[in-house]
């Protein structure tokens, strides 16, 4: 296991109880208060800004796990929100982090963050949902979906072989021509998402290369998990939850956020004007400041 190097993200890989490998990236000092980060769809734990001085001031470390099939993590079938929540709990034990921890999730990572808080409430002190999505396979949430999202879910479940082929093709593009791949995605984005992605182009490019590793298997399995019943109840999350969302989010409509907050017993909403789906990148200092205030203070050693 690599040793911690001050000022640099540290890649690690753990063995889970069933022998599978789980990759992660650790940001900040391991002696500081832990925060688990759940990455977005088609990405990896490399999608975070490297801000060691900021983390040190807030006395935080970020542990960003790669979901099965992403980066160094073994492929696992069938992946579910619940199975990955259990993987993270086992990994925290392996890292000697007893909890409670802060939990963040960006985009579909927000659903994974909720799953961890619902299944392992004693391990979670607070949750931040950053441009979160809904679980596509939950009947109550499905009724809230736009026509586009319903169509995407239908395609994923009705034609899995077509999606598997698509993700395999994309994995080859990210592996062989990563710069061309991210430029292509930027051209497909709405204006606000394209602006921020272009600004953080290298970071998001490298995160996506790892996200589409293993022949795109992790992305495909993540999509399948997203379309299944989630295996947990949103209402069972009793930790305080803060929802950060952009009023100009071109991926996930902000109108769904009050609905999510209404199902969470201790939720508050931060709706940011003129911000899109990538808001976590431009608001990272404020997000960390808020998480620092939500977690217990660090007790100095005797």
pLDDT tens digits, the chain, 302 residues: what are they? Answer: 444 444 578 999 999 999 999 999 999 999 999 999 999 999 999 999 999 999 999 999 999 999 999 999 999 888 999 999 999 999 999 999 987 999 999 999 999 999 999 999 999 999 999 999 999 999 999 999 999 999 999 999 999 999 999 999 999 999 999 999 999 999 999 999 999 999 999 999 999 999 999 999 999 999 999 999 999 999 999 999 999 999 999 999 999 999 999 999 999 999 999 999 999 999 999 999 999 999 987 655 44
CA distances in angstroms from 189 to 192, 223, 277, listed in the order given: 8, 20, 10
Nearest to residue 271, comparing CAs of 283, 257, 260? 257
CA-CA distance, 135 to 230, in Å (whole number)?
A: 6
Q: What is the pTM of this model?
A: 0.95
Q: What domains can you pick out in the chain, each with its CATH number?
A: 10-294 (3.40.50.1820)
8 Å CB contact between 103 and 117: yes
CA distances in angstroms from 261 to 13, 38, 103, 112, 271, listed in the order given: 34, 19, 16, 16, 12
């Amino acid at each position: 296991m690599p040793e911690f190097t001050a000022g640099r993200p540290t890649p690690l890989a753990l063995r889970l109880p069933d022998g599978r490998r789980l990759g992660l990236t650790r940001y900040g000092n391991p002696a500081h208060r832990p925060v688990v980060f759940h990455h977005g769809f088609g990405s990896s734990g490399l999608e975070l800004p490297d801000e060691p001085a900021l983390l040190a001031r807030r006395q935080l470390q970020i542990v960003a796990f790669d979901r099965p099939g992403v980066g160094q993590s073994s492929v696992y079938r069938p992946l579910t929100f619940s199975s990955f929540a259990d993987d993270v709990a086992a990994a925290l034990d392996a890292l000697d982090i007893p909890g409670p921890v802060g939990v963040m999730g960006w985009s579909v990572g927000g659903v994974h963050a909720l799953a961890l808080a619902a299944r392992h409430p004693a391990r979670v002190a607070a949750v931040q949902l950053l441009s979160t999505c809904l679980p596509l396979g939950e009947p109550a949430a499905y009724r809230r979906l736009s026509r586009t999202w319903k169509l995407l879910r239908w395609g994923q479940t009705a034609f899995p072989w077509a999606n598997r082929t698509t993700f395999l093709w994309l994995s080859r593009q990210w592996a062989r021509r990563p710069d061309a791949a991210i430029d292509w995605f930027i051209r497909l984005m709405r204006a606000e998402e394209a602006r921020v992605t272009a600004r953080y182009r290298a970071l998001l490019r490298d995160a996506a290369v790892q996200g589409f590793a293993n022949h795109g298997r992790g992305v495909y399995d993540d999509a399948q998990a997203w379309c299944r019943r989630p295996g947990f109840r949103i209402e069972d999350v009793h930790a305080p939850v803060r929802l950060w969302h952009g009023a100009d989010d071109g991926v996930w409509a902000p109108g769904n956020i009050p609905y999510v907050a209404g199902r969470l017993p201790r939720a508050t909403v931060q709706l940011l004007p003129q911000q899109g789906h990538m808001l976590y990148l431009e608001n990272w200092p404020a997000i960390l400041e808020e998480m620092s205030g939500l977690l217990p203070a660090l007790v100095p050693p005797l």
